[in-house]
Structure 1
C-alpha cells in the first residue's frame, strides 16, 4: 500500500510587481521565498491531484464596476518540466471556501517549466467578473496517475496574508477546500494574484482614471488610460474653438507644432467622453 504524505519543498527568489489592479491576499504579492505542501507519494514519487485556492472581494480592492481580468499570477515553488496546470476563475457566494458555491467564469492552462522554480508565473487570461462579486482563483495540479516526474509545489512566503489560503487534495483526505492553518501548515501563504481593470460604466467620471501630463507641455502630451478604455476620436481645440488638427496616437499627442496657449483636449471613448484643459508653453 503506497504511502501518501504532505511534503514541503523549500525555495527562494525576488520578482517584480505588476501594474493594473491586483487582487491579492498577500502582504508581499511578488516574492516567492519558499515552497508549499502538496499531496503526493514521496516513496513511489507519484503525484496526487491538488487544488490551491484564494478568494477576493472586489470591493476590498476599490473595484466598483465589473472587473476585466487580463492575467493571473501564481507562485511556483518547484515543478517538473511539462507539468500541466489548470487555472480557473470562479465567483462565489462566500469567501469561506469550505462551504462556498462556486460558479466557473473562465479557465486556461499552463505548461510548467522547472526554469520558473522559485518565481511568480504570469499567465494571460480573459474574463469579466460582475461588479460586487467574490472572486475565487484556483490553481489545479492534476494527478500524475502511475507516472513519476509530474509534480508541482506552490510558491509561498511568510510576509503575511489578509485572508486564508486553501488546499483540497482527496488522496490526503482533504475532500473540501480547507485552510492551510487547519491542516497544520499556517506558513503556507500562497502567492496567487488576479490582475485586471475596473470596467467603468458609460457616463461615469473618466477623470478618476485618465491621466494627462505634462501641463504645461512643450512637445508631447502624454495620455494614460486603463486598458479597457479605447479612444475612438480625439481633438485639441483652442479657447476660441479653432481646431489644431493634433490627434491622439499610441498614448501621446504631438503638440510641438502649435502655438503656446490654452487648449481643450477631448477624447471620445467606448466609455464616454472626457475633456480637459491643457497648456502649451
Structure 2
C-alpha cells in the first residue's frame, strides 16, 4: 500500500503522541511509587516516639513489668503498660540514657542491664541484632560526652524475650550481661553516672526504649537524636530498665585490707582462692618461699595453683588499688 507524505506525517505524529503519553504515565507511576515508599518506610524511620508510628494504643502485658532487684543497690525504672517509648535506633545515631546515682561513701559495680524495647511488628520475630552500651559521667544533670567511662559496642544481648505488645510492636526485654563497669563513689557526696543504649534491629527498622510517666527516679530521660545537638533532658519521663549494681563501702585510710580480702583454704593442698569486694582491684599476686624466692605461682580466675609446690610455709603478697596485703600460707 502506498502512503502519501501527509499520511506519513500524520501517522508519525500519532506515534510520537502515544509514546509521550506512555512516558508520562510511567513517570507518574514512578513518582507515586516513590511517594508510597517514603510514606510507608521513610517516616517510620524517623519518628521519635513509638506513639507517633500510627499503631493503636492497646497494650497486652505478658510479663509483670515491676521487675526485680538482683544486687544490693540495683535500680529499676517503673513500667506503665507500655505507655510509650523513645527512639534509640543505632543506624540513626540515636541514644537514650538514664542516670544512676552511687550513694556517698560507696563504690558501685555495674554488672547487668535489662531494658524493655519496642522492636518489630507484633509477632514478626524481629528483635535486637546488637546494642551499643555507653557509661558517662555527669555534667550538671546530663551525660558528659567528654567523660566517657566506658563503651561496649556491638554487644549481642544474652537473652531476649517478648514481655508484651502495644502500638503494633512487640516489646522485648533485653538482657545485657556486659563486662563489669566500676562506678567509683566519693566520700561524703553522691556520684551520678549515665547509662546509655543505642540498639540495632535485625531488620534495621526504627525501635524505641520503653519509657513512662509512672514515676521519676532520677534526673529523667536523656535523648540524643543523632543530629549533632547533644543530649536533651526530659524530666517527666523515666525508662523501663533494671541496672544490676553491686555496692561496697569505700575503703578508707583506716580500713584494714585484711578484713576485706578472703583467702582460703589455709592450709591448702592444691589451690588458694582469693576473693575481694567489687571496689577492690587486684593488680598483682606473688607467692614467696621462706627464703624470699618467688615461686612463680600466679592468680588465675581468682585462685592460685599450689599443687606443684613442696609442703611448707609461704608468703602470699597481694597488691591492689587499695593497698598491699601480705599473709602467711601453709602448703600441705
Fold-level similarity (TM above 0.5):
yes
Contact 2:132 2:153 in 1 (8 A): yes
Query: Where in structure 2 are there 5+ consecutive unaligned residues?
Result: 1-38, 120-125, 162-172, 226-230
Query: Where in structure 1 are there 5+ consecutive unaligned residues?
Result: 41-46, 182-187
Classify 1:162/1:202 alpha carbon distance in 2 versus 1 (closer, same or farther; 3 Å).
Answer: farther
Contact 1:51 1:167 in 2 (8 A): yes
Aligned with 1:277: secondary structure?
strand
Asked if 1:167 corresponds to 2:221, the answer is: yes
Contact 2:267 2:331 in 1 (8 A): yes
Q: 2:286 aligns with which of 215, 233, 238?
A: 233
Asked if 1:120 corresponds to 2:175, the answer is: yes
> Radius of gyration: which is bigger?
2
Structure-2 separation of matches of 1:50 and 1:153: 10
Aligned with 2:235: secondary structure?
strand
Q: How large is the Cα RMSD of the aligned pairs?
A: 5.4
Structure-2 separation of matches of 1:249 and 1:214: 15
TM-score (normalised: structure 1): 0.56
Q: 1:177 aligns with which of 219, 230, 234?
A: 234
The answer to which structure has the higher helix fraction is 2
Paired residue for 2:266?
215
Q: How far has the Cα of 1:276 moved from its partner?
A: 1.6
Paired residue for 1:75?
115
Asked if 1:277 corresponds to 2:331, the answer is: no
Cα deviation, 1:156-197, whole Å, max 9, x if unaligned, reads 9x9xx99448335699xx95232437xxxxxx6521346799
Paired residue for 1:25?
75
Q: How far has the Cα of 1:38 moved from its partner?
A: 0.2
Classify 1:107/1:214 alpha carbon distance in 2 versus 1 (closer, same or farther; 3 Å).
Answer: closer
Contact 1:87 1:109 in 2 (8 A): yes
Structure-1 separation of matches of 2:295 and 2:85: 61
Q: 1:134 aligns with which of 170, 183, 192?
A: 192
Q: How far has the Cα of 1:255 moved from its partner?
A: 5.4
Cα deviation, 1:23-50, whole Å, max 9, x if unaligned, reads 632399xxx9x8673047xxxxxx9956
Paired residue for 2:85?
38
TM-score (normalised: structure 2): 0.49
